[in-house]
Chain A
Amino acid sequence: MTRHTRNVRTFTTAALAFVMAASGGCRSKPRPGGEAGATMSHGGDLVVSVRTEPRTFNRLAARDTSTDLVSILTQAKLVRINRVTQEVEPWLAESWTRSDAGLRYTIKLRPNVTFSDGHPFTADDVVFSFEAVYDEKTGSALADSLQMGGRKLRVTAADPSTVVVAFPAPFAPGLRILDNLPIVPRHKLEAALKAGTFASAWGLSTPPADIVGLGPFVLSEYAPGQRLVFTRNTHYWRTDASGTPLPYLDRVTADIIPDESAEILSLESGRIDMTFSSVAPESYALVKRAADAGRVKLMDLGVAYDADSFWFNLKPGAFAADARAPWLQRDELRLAISMAVDRQLFADTVFLGAGVPVYGPETPSNKKWYAADAPRAPHDPARARVLLGSVGLSDRNGDGAIEDAGNRPARFTLLTQKGRPSLERGAAVIRDELKKVGLVVDVVSLEAGALIQRILSATYDSVYFDPGTTDTDPAINPDFWFSSGSAHLWNMMQKAPATEWEKRIDELMARQIASPDEAERKRLFDEVQRIFAEHLPVIYFVAPRVYVAASARVTNLMPAVSRPQLLWAADTIAVKQ
């Protein structure tokens, strides 16, 4: 599911960017975070844990968690979305102006910025980064998130310190979209792009010294299966409010610890300072004890922006030769399932109570876009049985399970990802809850790769999975909403909308993305959510609370609900000496 996982739900909040742009431009310094105004302790080491090896050091070629960590620490972007405020902050772009009714942005780059090897950063590097990400041979994980309806942004260098970005169509979130692209050094990678080998450039065998960036740290050591070591980038351009050069830390070590239990034990014992992932509910008690003993800080960040998703294969003809075709793709089945599952029980069992029931893709945390008045399917097993009866499914032989008109059991397979407790437990709860209304569900856990392959090839009955969201604005997530989208989970990349309601959502989202009026955008997206709730192409049950933990010696953290919760602002993290 490469396109899917690459692009699925890269939400961002557009509001402020648009308002700032609409007012004619922006000029500001990125705000230091947390306690940055105070005198921070300079120096020291931070040890974090990641679960997997990076696939590459080239963020444009892969989007796995560990590659993302490398990118966060070693690269920088033109603008940054502050994960706490969800506002756009100038980053490598010092200021910008908007023209042509928002279709054209002229960006002034921050002066006197150099890469970690001392080479000057110019507009050519920005243009090069766009060329690399759009290059078909690169097959970039980020390309789709930097396009609008399949059309690319046109990026040119007006002079060494000025970049002009032209949008192919009105786009309300404006430059927020640039948070998706780390700027890579032309002088290091141009040869690879010309040779058509950019996708394999900066592989894991690349000497760390060759990995050059504009981020706060540089990769100084990679021990496969053990750790990644990052040291301070002495050329980093950012300072705190008192003028102290950032980052505060001398070194960040990322220990590779595949097992979550081992990861939590390491945190509890003080061997690591924080985990890259959030703390799972089943690990909460262990971390809480360490927190009560004063060894770690445990933070409840609130309800996540996303919930695990359950959907059926709605591709027309997918079950043409299947006796279940008359009912497996019906709206009534999905509505019945939504009603059959007790969401509070789901939250109690899967997330140990640390979650809230949800009924759509937006959770209450996303205050700006969440439609509180969208229709909901309350827990009502009796009503669910009636709905199932309306598509010909009823208990014809009195065995408690329901059958179709041909007396065949109403049975389907639910695929989920192996090794993900919340998914495996969630799938088990769905199976048990649906058994109560007579539906038989065969849960099959697959490795991520095998699962994604089946989703991409539409060879499945239903899936329970976490496509993942990183931000909040629906306009940044067209792949999910548009029927032509590569993350339109239930029926991807349609040439024309398969249903009237998808066609209507396409129309509404096209207007929503282009509208300069925030109230109008909200109204349009509320309408989209209402249509979504009526047809339930994806069913959501519970959004978990997000917990993170860090060693007590770590200071100046700016925890955010969206991932990565702590390390998104790595340059301002400090440790007590």
Chain B
Amino acid sequence: MTRLFGWTLLAAAVVAASGAPLLAPHASDDQFRGLLNAAPTFPHLVDDSGHWHRPFIYPWTLVSQLEQRYEQDRSTRVGLVWFTRGRLVGSADDSRAPLMLLGADSYGRDVFSRLLFGARISLALSIVAALGSMLAGVLIGGLAGYIGGGVDDLLMRASDFVLVLPAMYVALALRSVLPLVLASGTVFGLLAAIFAVVGAPFISRGVRAIVRAEKQLDYAVAVASLGAGHARLLARHLLPAARGFIVVEITMLVPAFIVAEATLSYVGLGFPDPVASWGTMLHDASNVRAFADFPWLLSPAAAMFLVVLGLNLVMEQSGVAPVMGAPVAEGAGRLQSE
């Protein structure tokens, strides 16, 4: 049951990301200038007098522009329309009462739509980067642990070097030598590469320790004595022992990379506004009023939590990783903490 719940969460994330153009009521950069930071417009079926209707919403009326206070106009109902303009659902009158299931951000953009479109970038980026970290980390850690000696020293010192690099300053230096304007595809590739490099040492160190320890065990000695080659011994027998560790690291790196993307966006290395990603959305919400008055701006954090929860539940029930108490990838917070 728990595993099913985990799969459901992950499936929902994938459906949301892939189906964003249909599911989102608005484009990610559509702006409703009169509704800056407006609260969510929840669909209703029953009006104040107790009468049932087809799904509808109440429009917001601006009370104080400077304080960004709105009141619902309960005297007016605006119906929802289905499968129009290429969208699953939307308001019958966007100019008067746009459907904003998770409210609006500080530019008057629909947070729900941006959350869906942002999922595409954030999930893809973090997954690609985490896989890149895994490949590099497994390769480096496996070779270091298996060969040992000078190769071990060289690879681990290289990993240590990456670990001690002040990632933010390196990113800033890198940014300064790049063109001012970068295409989104370039930004994606650049971020994925940076995250893979930064994340790889955390996996390689653990993999190296596990391979080194496993190599001494009887089963490994037996496999070797039976004539298995180095590559087979490493790939088929030793590295699988690190599977649990790798999965735990990946579940930690994925959300860390999502947030790190926001940090790099701040220094000009991430996706530029108005491109929606969970990281840039969270960056927009990084002020005290978001917590106090506009909590819907934090919905990307909730989405990240659900994705990570789904990953953990699936992995736990697969018997490869504990839900809690897993070793935390120290790299998870490096970019955003510096």
Q: How distant is the Cα of A424 from the Cα of B272 in the complex, in angstroms?
A: 11
A418–B266 CB distance below 8 A = yes
Question: Which of B66, B106, B176, B272 is in CB contact (< 8 Å) with A285?
Answer: B66
Mark each residue of chain B from 256 to 293: 1 if its CB lies under 8 Å from any CB of chain A, else 0: 00000000001110001110000000000001110011
A286–B289 CB distance below 8 A = yes
Q: How distant is the Cα of A285 from the Cα of B106 in the complex, in angstroms?
A: 14
Question: Which of B108, B181, B293 is in CB contact (< 8 Å) with A442?
Answer: B181
Residue B70 at the chain A interface, CB threshold 8 Å: no
Residue A444 at the chain B interface, CB threshold 8 Å: yes
Q: How distant is the Cα of A529 from the Cα of B185 in the complex, in angstroms?
A: 45
B288–A432 CB distance below 8 A = no
Residue A348 at the chain B interface, CB threshold 8 Å: yes
Residue B180 at the chain A interface, CB threshold 8 Å: yes
Q: How distant is the Cα of A415 from the Cα of B69 in the complex, in angstroms?
A: 32
Residue A450 at the chain B interface, CB threshold 8 Å: yes
What chain A residues lie within 8 Å of B67 (beta carbons)? Answer: 284-285, 288
A283–B176 CB distance below 8 A = no
Name the residue on A nearest B181 (C-beta): A442
- Given A282-B287, A444-B180: A353 and B65 within 8 A (CB)? yes
Within 8 A of B (CB), among A275-320: 281-286, 288
Within 8 A of B (CB), among A425-450: 425, 428, 432, 442-446, 450
- Given A264-B288, A285-B293, A418-B266: A352 and B36 within 8 A (CB)? yes
Question: Which of A349, A444, A445 is in CB contact (< 8 Å) with B36?
Answer: A349
Q: How distant is the Cα of A82 from the Cα of B181 in the complex, in angstroms?
A: 45
B287–A413 CB distance below 8 A = no
What chain B residues lie within 8 Å of A424 (beta carbons)? Answer: 273
- Chain A nearest CB, measured from B94 CB (Å): 17
Residue B157 at the chain A interface, CB threshold 8 Å: no
Residue B74 at the chain A interface, CB threshold 8 Å: no
What chain B residues lie within 8 Å of A354 (beta carbons)? Answer: 66
Question: Which of A349, A428, A444 is in CB contact (< 8 Å) with B181?
Answer: A444
Q: How distant is the Cα of A418 from the Cα of B272 in the complex, in angstroms?
A: 12
A443–B293 CB distance below 8 A = no
A286–B288 CB distance below 8 A = yes
Name the residue on A nearest B172 (C-beta): A447
Q: Size of chain B's interface in residues, with CB distance under 8 A?
A: 27
Q: Size of chain A's interface in residues, with CB distance under 8 A?
A: 31
B66–A428 CB distance below 8 A = no
- Given A418-B266, A444-B268, A450-B176: A285 and B274 within 8 A (CB)? no
A352–B181 CB distance below 8 A = no
Name the residue on A nearest B288 (C-beta): A261
Residue B53 at the chain A interface, CB threshold 8 Å: no
Question: Which of A352, A428, A432, A445 is in CB contact (< 8 Å) with B65?
Answer: A352
Query: Most chain-B Cβ atoms within 10 A of its Cβ — which of A264, A265, A288, A444?
Result: A444
- Chain B nearest CB, measured from A561 CB (Å): 18
Residue B68 at the chain A interface, CB threshold 8 Å: yes
Residue B107 at the chain A interface, CB threshold 8 Å: yes
Residue B96 at the chain A interface, CB threshold 8 Å: no
Within 8 A of A (CB), among B39-93: 64-69
Q: How distant is the Cα of A154 from the Cα of B66 in the complex, in angstroms?
A: 50
Within 8 A of B (CB), among A379-431: 413, 415, 418, 424-425, 428
Q: How distant is the Cα of A444 from the Cα of B179 in the complex, in angstroms?
A: 11
- Chain A nearest CB, measured from B275 CB (Å): 12
Q: How distant is the Cα of A139 from the Cα of B267 in the complex, in angstroms?
A: 31
B289–A285 CB distance below 8 A = yes
Mark each residue of chain B from 280 to 318: 1 if its CB lies under 8 Å from any CB of chain A, else 0: 000000011100110000000000000000000000000
Residue B230 at the chain A interface, CB threshold 8 Å: no
A349–B66 CB distance below 8 A = no
What chain B residues lie within 8 Å of A531 (beta carbons)? Answer: none
Question: Which of B69, B106, B268 is in CB contact (< 8 Å) with A282?
Answer: B106
Residue B336 at the chain A interface, CB threshold 8 Å: no
Q: How distant is the Cα of A158 from the Cα of B328 in the complex, in angstroms?
A: 74
- Given A261-B288, A349-B36, A428-B274: A281 and B66 within 8 A (CB)? yes
Residue B236 at the chain A interface, CB threshold 8 Å: no
Q: How distant is the Cα of A450 from the Cα of B267 in the complex, in angstroms?
A: 12
Q: How distant is the Cα of A282 from the Cα of B69 in the complex, in angstroms?
A: 12
- Chain B nearest CB, measured from A461 CB (Å): 9
Q: How distant is the Cα of A354 from the Cα of B180 in the complex, in angstroms?
A: 32
- Chain A nearest CB, measured from B6 CB (Å): 35
A349–B268 CB distance below 8 A = no
Question: Which of A264, A284, A348, A450 is in CB contact (< 8 Å) with B33?
Answer: A348
Q: How distant is the Cα of A446 from the Cα of B272 in the complex, in angstroms?
A: 12
Mark each residue of chain A from 348 to 390: 1 if its CB lies under 8 Å from any CB of chain B, else 0: 1100111000000000000000000000000000000000000
Q: How distant is the Cα of A111 from the Cα of B66 in the complex, in angstroms?
A: 50
Name the residue on B nearest A427 (C-beta): B273
Q: How distant is the Cα of A285 from the Cα of B65 in the complex, in angstroms?
A: 10
Name the residue on B nearest A349 (C-beta): B33
Residue A345 at the chain B interface, CB threshold 8 Å: yes
Within 8 A of A (CB), among B240-257: none
What chain B residues lie within 8 Å of A446 (beta carbons)? Answer: 268
B65–A443 CB distance below 8 A = no
Q: How distant is the Cα of A381 from the Cα of B211 in the complex, in angstroms?
A: 67
A352–B268 CB distance below 8 A = no
Query: Most chain-A Cβ atoms within 10 A of its Cβ — which of B66, B176, B273?
Result: B66
What chain B residues lie within 8 Å of A425 (beta carbons)? Answer: 106-107
Name the residue on B nearest A261 (C-beta): B288
- Chain A nearest CB, measured from B175 CB (Å): 9
Question: Which of A261, A262, A348, A418 is in CB contact (< 8 Å) with B268?
Answer: A418
A428–B273 CB distance below 8 A = yes
- Chain B nearest CB, measured from A547 CB (Å): 9
Q: How distant is the Cα of A428 from the Cα of B181 in the complex, in angstroms?
A: 15
- Given A285-B66, A285-B67: A443 and B272 within 8 A (CB)? yes
Q: How distant is the Cα of A285 from the Cα of B288 in the complex, in angstroms?
A: 11
A353–B66 CB distance below 8 A = yes
What chain B residues lie within 8 Å of A428 (beta carbons)? Answer: 107, 273-274
Q: Which 10 A-B pairs have the closest CB atoms?
A: A261-B288, A353-B65, A285-B67, A442-B181, A444-B180, A261-B287, A352-B66, A284-B66, A354-B66, A352-B65
B residues lining the A interface (CB < 8 Å): 31, 33-34, 36, 64-69, 106-108, 176, 180-181, 266-268, 272-274, 287-289, 292-293
A residues lining the B interface (CB < 8 Å): 260-262, 264-265, 281-286, 288, 345, 348-349, 352-354, 413, 415, 418, 424-425, 428, 432, 442-446, 450
Q: Can you list 18 A-B contacts (CB < 8 A)?
A: A261-B288, A265-B288, A281-B66, A282-B287, A282-B289, A345-B33, A349-B108, A352-B65, A352-B66, A353-B65, A413-B181, A415-B180, A425-B107, A428-B107, A428-B273, A442-B180, A443-B273, A444-B268
Q: A348-B33, A352-B36, A424-B273 known; 15 other A-B pairs, CB under 8 Å?
A: A282-B287, A282-B289, A285-B67, A285-B68, A286-B289, A286-B292, A288-B67, A348-B34, A348-B65, A352-B66, A415-B180, A418-B267, A418-B268, A428-B274, A442-B272
